[in-house]
């Protein structure tokens, strides 16, 4: 909400910049989630309520909330003797997740091709230009972020919020592994070519072509990640 209700009343303007009143539990949830998907909490490491609570200077209650939510989301598993652990990913987990992404995201792209409206492709073009600029400069670190934003914009045009949420949840699970794809400059260039082709097919409203492009785009990512993963001795 960029234009909040009272934003034009000078005396109250500052109130809008106050931190949003979020529950402690929600904060813990988001923090833990970030820590897990970014790899700060390595797989198989144990999560102990009281430790987390103590570290954050709060009670166990909100920590429990967060842990249970993360368990439902599949980022934590409870060991056979109780106790929660960060869920690790096997090679087949990764393969499975990329496979599911390939059908969900290609479907979202198909819907986007059918449903996008006048002018909505402009932000995609801009993102693409930003990507190419970074690529030319050798700023490979920026690419994952821009890449994700491009795909978010694309899927956003599907106007299917549940689908988008599912896609995002899946991406969170394998966030760490997606990073390696664009660190290979050859892949970064291939990605860019794919994006150009997607945009072209979007303009021509060719759902079959867009669907095919996204599917192959993701499956290429899958093979890169699996190769890296297996080489790392997993």
Partner DNA sequence: GTTCTTGATACCGGATGCAAGATACAGGAT
Partner DNA sequence: ATCCTGTATCTTGCATCCGGTATCAAGAAC
Site size toward its own copies (CB under 8 A) is: 22
Closest CA to 128 of 199, 187, 185, 186: 199
Given the rule CB under 7 A, which of 45-53, 125-133, 148-156, 223-231 is the region that contacts DNA? Answer: 45-53
Closer to DNA by Cβ: residue 64 or 212: 64
- Contact segment (CB under 7 A) with DNA among 79-87, 91-99, 100-108, 199-207 equals 79-87
Partner from DNA, its own copies, none binding residue 164, C-beta < 5-8 Å depending on class: none
172 is a contact residue toward its own copies (CB under 8 A): no
Helices of type H across the chain: 24-37, 49-56, 60-73, 91-115, 122-137, 143-156, 161-173, 175-183, 185-203, 207-231
211 within 8 A of 109, measured Cβ to Cβ: yes
Is residue 90 within the footprint of DNA (CB under 7 A)?
Answer: no
Residue-wise DSSP of 128-175: HHHHHHHHHHT-GGGHHHHHHHHHHHHHHTT--HHHHHHHHHHHHHTH
| Positions that interact with its own copies (CB under 8 A) | 25, 64-65, 68-69, 72-74, 93, 96-97, 99-100, 103-104, 107, 111, 160-163, 166
| Positions that interact with DNA (CB under 7 A) | 23-25, 46-51, 53, 58-62, 64-65, 78-79, 81-84
């Amino acid at each position: 909400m960029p234009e909040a209700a009272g934003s034009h009343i000078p005396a109250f303007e500052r109130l809008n910049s106050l931190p949003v009143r979020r529950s402690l539990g929600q904060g813990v949830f988001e923090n833990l989630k970030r820590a897990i998907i970014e790899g700060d909490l390595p797989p198989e490491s144990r999560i102990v309520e009281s430790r987390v609570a103590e570290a954050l200077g709060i009670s166990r209650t909100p920590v429990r909330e967060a842990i249970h939510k993360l368990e439902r989301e599949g980022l934590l598993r409870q060991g056979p003797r109780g106790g929660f652990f960060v869920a690790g990913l096997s090679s087949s987990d990764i393969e499975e997740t990329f496979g599911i992404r390939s059908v969900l995201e290609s479907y979202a792209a198909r819907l986007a091709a059918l449903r996008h409206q006048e002018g909505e492709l402009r932000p995609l073009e801009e993102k693409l230009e930003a990507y190419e600029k970074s690529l030319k400069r050798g700023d490979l670190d920026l690419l994952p972020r821009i890449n994700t934003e491009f795909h978010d914009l694309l899927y956003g045009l599907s106007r299917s919020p549940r689908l988008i949420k599912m896609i995002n949840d899946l991406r969170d699970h394998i966030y760490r592994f997606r990073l390696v794809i664009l660190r290979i400059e050859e892949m970064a260039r291939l990605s860019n070519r794919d994006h150009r082709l997607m945009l072209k097919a979007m303009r021509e409203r060719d759902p079959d072509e867009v669907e095919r492009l996204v599917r192959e785009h993701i499956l290429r990512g899958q093979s890169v990640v699996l190769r890296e993963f297996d080489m790392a001795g997993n």
